[in-house]
Amino acid sequence: MKILGVIALMLLGVYGCYHSAAPSATIRYKLTLIVDDNGKQYTGSSVVEVTRQDTTKVFAGIGGYGGNYKGEAVAVDMDEKGVLFALLRGKDTVDYPLYIFMKSFPEYFPARADITVIDGMRRLDHDKPKASLPFDKLPMLVRFRDINDPKTVELVDPDDLEKTFGTGVKLVSATIEMTDEGMTSEVEKWLPWLKKLKGGYLHGGFTSREAPLGLYGLNFKTGELK
């Protein structure tokens, strides 16, 4: 028993040293979209949690800023016009949540050796800033011609919602803010088939071949939400 106790203490020590040498930070951001349909406005938002860790000192030469996130897409319900979704990925960035807060608040991440990504995230979490998000920095926007059929997904141009939703429909604003709010869990209300995909692609398979827009379930929701 004494040996087991010593081993346990050693493991705790190693664990403590690792986390001391590889600091981490967790933040939550809220993304909100407002759409105007000929004078009537619709709002949708979601809260995403992001954790990143600095392993540059632990794995010299190959370390970096690893990260993970959990959350769901923003859904803007426009009644008979359908639902607009802002995904957890960008057009060119799969892990969109890991970077968007850095691009939105660059003043927190100056190119200085004495300020790390972790430092910036901790300051963000403390200050809880809010900013307008330019449309070219938005995640991928999509809608479904038939909300019950994932294969009917279509890409939506944030600068031309009229093309998809009809005359007079436009994206008014997009904002991002740091928050302590609880995680949202509403996207499955519109997409009941999402759970059946089990993270797979929208055509039901587990390879991107012929998958509509190359999208999969985790682009809409990932992680255990609370």
Say how many Å lie between the first and final Cα of the chain, rounded.
39
**What is the reported pLDDT for 3?**
60
**Alpha-carbon span 115 to 47, nearest angstrom:** 26
Per-residue pLDDT of the chain (226 residues; tens, 9 = 90+): 556 443 434 333 333 333 456 899 999 999 999 999 999 999 999 999 999 999 877 555 555 678 999 999 999 999 999 999 999 999 888 999 999 999 999 999 998 888 899 999 999 999 999 999 999 999 999 999 999 999 999 999 999 999 999 999 999 999 999 999 999 999 999 999 999 998 899 999 888 888 999 999 999 999 864 3
Q: For 193-207, write each residue's pLDDT tens digit.
A: 999 998 899 999 888
**Alpha-carbon span 179 to 47, nearest angstrom:** 8
Query: If you count them, how many residues does the chain have?
Result: 226
Helix (H) or strand (E) holding 141: strand 141-144
Backbone torsion region of residue 190, taken as left when φ is above 0, otherwise alpha when ψ lies between -120 and 50, otherwise beta = alpha
**Boundaries of every domain in the chain:** 23-186
Q: For 168-187, write each residue's pLDDT tens digit.
A: 999 999 999 999 999 999 99
**Alpha-carbon span 223 to 95, nearest angstrom:** 14
Whole-structure pTM value: 0.87
Which has the closest alpha carbon to 226: 188, 186, 190, 182?
A: 182
**What is the reported pLDDT for 175?**
98
